[in-house]
Amino acid sequence: MSNAIELVDVGWTADKAFALSDISLNVPMGAIYGFLGPNGSGKTSTIRLFMGMLKPDRGSISIFGRAVPKDMKSILARIGYVPERPHVYPMLTVAEQLRYHASFFRLWDDGWAKELMGRLELDADRKISRMSKGETGKLLLLLALSQRPDLLVLDEPTDGLDPVVRRDVMAAVLDYVSETSATVFISSHLVHELERICDWVGVMDAGRLVAELPMQRFKNGIKRLRVDGAPEVLEAFPFVVLSRHRDNGSGSTETWIVQGWEAPMRYQIETLGATLRDVADLDLEESFVELLRSFRPSTTAGAD
């Protein structure tokens, strides 16, 4: 068993307007897996499918090698989950919510919960209904981490939080991972947030998983090339041209966004009679945007 989460050809239909189609996703054990995608792309629905909250129409799901939803009870005992929206009971205080939550988890670490509460500056006697969004976000993370989970599932955990709280939350996650080598599945539309911490990345768009690869390959594999004198029709390349467009007012110079680029490949461009003027790295956000653009019908690769 090398995957913590495994989805094979999973499909799910919400309504006429939205469906997840043929999602095959693999989260290696011990990885920090960033799940990227614009709002409404299906990230939360995918999470709810493998958390057993939604039932797939087809395909199979397993977590730690156990079938979802058949073995959900034992699976959930090993998952710390921070959902997209706050889901705690507002009439309870922080201490009461901790006691309530702790009663369901055998591995609950009370000492660590107290330590985290101090680190995250949460007041045990504070009523949840009076807490700010940032404090509620920290509480949700505190609940998830104090379970000592083998898998942390974080659905937009820092969405809407201020930078200070966001840093605290991510620091707490990283500390936990470095201590326990737990697997982390973190969804976000904030690309930069994931760039620094993830070692794998999956990209969702319009209900499809359009890419899944190690972060290093994602960061380094997508480049912006400037090419002079390229022919109209491109031969088969060992890299993928995600998009190409002619630069404004620069004659025959084109900008290509390519995936899977390696330096020796420049000779293949030159054999076409074109000249490679320069190669630039894209940051993760630019790569993400270009990748999504290449999968969308209105702006497909090669479109101007």
Shorter beta-carbon distance to other proteins: residue 105 or 295: 105
Of residues 65-84, which lie at the interface with other proteins (CB under 8 A)? Answer: 72-74, 76-77, 79, 81, 83
Question: Number of residues in contact with other proteins, rule: CB under 8 A?
Answer: 24
**Given candidates 70, 87, 246, 296, which one binds other proteins under the rule CB under 8 A?**
87
**Minimum CB separation from other proteins for residue 231, in Å?**
54
**Given candidates 29, 92, 197, 234, which one binds other proteins under the rule CB under 8 A?**
92
Is residue 89 part of the contact set for other proteins (CB under 8 A)? yes
Interface region with other proteins, contact rule CB under 8 A, candidates 11-19, 98-106, 118-126, 290-298: 98-106
Of residues 18-57, which lie at the interface with other proteins (CB under 8 A)? Answer: 51-53
Rounded Cα gap, residues 198 and 238, in angstroms: 27
Instruction: Kindly report the three-state secondary structure assignment for every residue of the chain.
Output: CCEEEEEEEEEEECCCCCEEEEEEEEEECCCEEEEECCCCCCHHHHHHHHCCCCCCCEEEEEECCEEECCCHHHHHCCEEEECCCCCCCCCCEHHHHHHHHHCCCCCCCHHHHHHHHHHCCCCCCCEHHHCCHHHHHHHHHHHHHHCCCCEEEEECCCCCCCHHHHHHHHHHHHHHHHHHCCEEEEEECCHHHHHCCCCEEEEEECCEEEEEEEHHHHHHHEEEEEEECCCCCCCCCCCEEEEEEECCCCCCEEEEEEECCCHHHHHHHHCCCCEEEEEEECCHHHHHHHHHHHHCHHHCCCCC
**Minimum CB separation from other proteins for residue 73, in Å?**
5
Shorter beta-carbon distance to other proteins: residue 16 or 106: 106
Q: 151-155 and 183-188 as β-strands: parallel, antiparallel, unpaired?
A: parallel
**Minimum CB separation from other proteins for residue 234, in Å?**
48
**Minimum CB separation from other proteins for residue 90, in Å?**
8
AA letter at 163: P
Shorter beta-carbon distance to other proteins: residue 52 or 134: 52
**Given candidates 22, 96, 159, 199, which one binds other proteins under the rule CB under 8 A?**
96
Binding mask 105-134 for other proteins (x = CB under 8 A): x-----------------------------
**Minimum CB separation from other proteins for residue 150, in Å?**
13
Spatial neighbors of 48 by CB under 8 A, at least 6 apart, are 54
**Minimum CB separation from other proteins for residue 66, in Å?**
13
**Minimum CB separation from other proteins for residue 34, in Å?**
21
Buried b (16+ CB within 10 A) or exposed e, 161-182: beeebbebbbebbeebbeeeeb
**Given candidates 91, 124, 190, 303, which one binds other proteins under the rule CB under 8 A?**
91
Shorter beta-carbon distance to other proteins: residue 92 or 197: 92
Shorter beta-carbon distance to other proteins: residue 104 or 229: 104
Question: Binding residues for other proteins, per CB under 8 A?
Answer: 51-53, 72-74, 76-77, 79, 81, 83, 85, 87-92, 96, 99-100, 103-105
